[in-house]
A and B are shown apart, each in its own frame.
Chain A
Amino acid sequence: ETGVTQTPRHLVMGMTNKKSLKCEQHLGHNAMYWYKQSAKKPLELMFVYSLEERVENNSVPSRFSPECPNSSHLFLHLHTLQPEDSALYLCASSQGLNEKLFFGSGTQLSVL
Chain B
Amino acid sequence: DTGVSQDPRHKITKRGQNVTFRCDPISEHNRLYWYRQTLGQGPEFLTYFQNEAQLEKSRLLSDRFSAERPKGSFSTLEIQRTEQGDSAMYLCASSPPGRPNEKLFFGSGTQLSVL
Physical interaction between A and B:
no
